[in-house]
């Protein structure tokens, strides 16, 4: 979203990646988020380490904000690829399987899932 103002930095790009992590209790989810923050900040970041993880309602969220004044040519593709790398790293961590060619099939996209849910709801 690019229309979310930050109280200190003004307008910019708000990035939110959400990952379902199954049934974790609140403490386990928060512990997982803290562990992943440690990896991002002190070990091997999966996407530049610009942001942090939090946990809410059985979802792990990676949140970051880039104020408009930080924009430079080429930034957006780099942020996109960083988000993809982060998603891949978490997929490998949680499923113990790397992505394969079929991982990129349209059915596996957000729109594909929405269409599938809509078609199941109309039956």
Which residues, including other chains, have CB under 8 Å from residue 101's CB and lie 6 or more apart? none
CA distance readout (Å), 34 to 18, 56, 60, 71, 104: 15, 13, 11, 28, 29
Single pTM value for the model: 0.75
Domain ranges for the chain: 12-97
Q: What is the pLDDT of residue 121?
A: 67
- Per-residue pLDDT tens digits for 68-81: 888 889 888 888 88
């Amino acid at each position: 979203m690019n229309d979310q103002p930050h109280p200190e930095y003004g307008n910019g790009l708000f990035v939110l990646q959400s990952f379902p992590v199954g049934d974790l209790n609140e403490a386990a989810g928060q512990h997982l988020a803290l562990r992943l923050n440690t990896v991002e900040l002190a070990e091997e970041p999966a996407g530049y380490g610009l942001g942090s993880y939090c946990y809410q309602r059985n979802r792990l969220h990676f949140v970051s904000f880039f104020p408009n004044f930080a924009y430079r040519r080429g930034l957006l593709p780099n942020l996109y690829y960083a988000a993809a790398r982060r998603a891949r790293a978490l997929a490998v961590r949680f499923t113990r399987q790397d992505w394969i060619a079929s991982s990129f099939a349209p059915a596996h996209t957000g729109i594909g899932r929405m269409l599938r849910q809509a078609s199941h709801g109309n039956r």
